[in-house]
Amino acid sequence: MEDITKLNKNKTCAILGASGLIGQQFIRMLYDHPSYQIHSLYTSSNSEGKTVSEVWALPDFQTPFGVKDTTFKNINGLYEIDEFDFDIVFSALPSSVALPIEEYLRSKGMAVFSNSSAYRMDPEVPIMIPEINPDTLELVKNQKIKYNGGFIVTSSNCSVTGAAIYLNELLKIHKIDTAIITTYQALSGAGAKGVSAVQGMGNVIPFINGEEEKIIVEAKKILGSVMDGRIIDKDINIITTCARVSVIDGHLESINARTLEQVDIDVLFKQLRAINSPLEHPHHIAPSKHLIVRSEKDRPQPRIDLYAGSPDWSAKGMAVTVGRIRKQSFDDETWINAFVLVHNTIRGGAGGSILNAEFIENHDML
């Protein structure tokens, strides 16, 4: 029987770092994608020659049938290809590895969608979240002119994605001058070989190397605005504390945001709940609501809310959930308190990059 998921695929994709946790989410999500077809999978020499099913480690998902016997190629082979016969690169490499290869691919005119932090703070490169900063398309256009059609578009750090999607909507309602973000981050955020079972299970590790700094600079860039082809950072104070907790997937974040305005918490709740996705063009994996607001006292929870997002068949795990919206007032200042949850390897990882590709393609730039 014909596999209908393979019909009408108009772009072929290479996945770099395909054996890792983000790489496997790319495989799973692209396998089911109506427009993008998996072309080749690249890793280091460690996984070269292994099959996808040999490394598969995603909780909740089986190895996609049609790629279970596909083998990984050595990434160094990319430097030997004269003319690429795929259209898009999705990168899930460690940052030090991503730095030279992503730049090389861009210089060859390739569209690179990266999950690594290597180019996130490069002034030419956007950290794109289409529901927040569609104006960063201008940076893509400028790169295409400079690099012979090639460009790099990054997705944000997984924790930043959740915080930025919530704060962006809050900032449209209240003037916020300070946000205190405390994260409770899943073990999968450290990658396939990141935290050992002995360290991670039944434990909280109150340090994640470089994470607190990344959240501050990336959130300001994402929430910023584009002026004459440059991003002007959002003027907001951000204070961060990050911890690794004994959860498999899903980063929970406590966000306390300060405003000097009067806040009616019931009105704010209704305003946030009424928000729909601003994306106008059809996107396969965009959720109809990018921010889901819960009213229950004890939500969001990773175990219950991890796969938020509808339609369920294409967008699960693509919505951010916010709950426990409260306020505390002192003299003339009010703190708006909330908990936010993001699926770190879907919305905060592979799904974020695939949405960026769809968004750019819908603007005829891919």
Of the pair 68, 326, the CB lying nearest ligand NAP is at: 68
Closest CA to 120 of 218, 224, 235: 218
158 is known as an active-site residue:
yes
Q: Which residue has the tokens 């690169």?
A: 89
User: Comparing C-alpha atoms, which of 92, 17, 21, 15 is closest to residue 249?
Assistant: 21
**Least gap, CB of 190 to ligand NAP (angstroms):** 7
CA–CA gap between residue 95 and residue 357 (Å, rounded): 20
> Measured from the CB atom, is 189 or 302 closer to ligand NAP?
189
Catalytic residue, candidates 33, 174, 251, 343: 251
CB of 186 to ligand NAP, least distance (A): 7
- Distance in Å, CB of 300 to ligand NAP, minimum: 17
- Residue from 54, 4, 56 nearest 32 by CA: 4
* The residue type at 6: K
Nearer to ligand NAP by Cβ, of 19 and 40: the residue is: 19
- The catalytically annotated residue of 13, 158, 242, 283 is 158
Minimal distance, residue 240 CB to ligand NAP, in Å: 16
The CB-of-331 to ligand NAP minimum distance in angstroms stands at: 40
Q: Helices 351-362 and 21-31, interaxial angle, to 10°?
A: 50
Task: Give whole-number Cα distances, 258 to 61, 135, 170, 210, 325, in Å.
Answer: 40, 27, 11, 25, 13
Q: Which is nearer to ligand NAP, 106 or 258 (CB)?
A: 106
Which residue is at the shortest CB distance from ligand NAP? Answer: 20
Question: Is 39 a residue of the active site?
Answer: no
Structural tokens at position 305:
């809310």
Which residues, other chains included, contact 182 with Cβ-Cβ below 8 Å and sequence gap of 6+? 240, 241, 242, 243, 253, 254, 255
CA contacts within 13 A on the Cβ side of 88: 24
- The nearer residue to ligand NAP, 243 or 275, going by C-beta atoms, is 243
Provide Rg for the chain, Cα atoms: 20
Under the phi-then-psi rule, with left for phi > 0, alpha for psi from -120 to 50, and beta for the rest, what region is 243? beta
| Minimum distance of ligand NAP from residue 20's CB (angstroms) | 2
Q: Which is nearer to ligand NAP, 21 or 128 (CB)?
A: 21
Cα-based distances in Å from 205 to 46, 108, 181, 250: 28, 42, 17, 16
- 304 phi, psi to nearest 5 deg: -100, -40
- What's the min distance (Å) between Cβ of 1 and ligand NAP? 32
Rounded CA gap, 42 and 282, in Å? 30
Nearer to ligand NAP, 77 or 311 (CB): 77
Binding site for ligand NAP (CB under 6 A): 17-23, 43-44, 46-47, 75, 92-95, 97, 115-117, 158, 188-189, 191-193, 344-345, 348-349
Q: Please identify every residue annotated as catalytic.
A: 158, 251
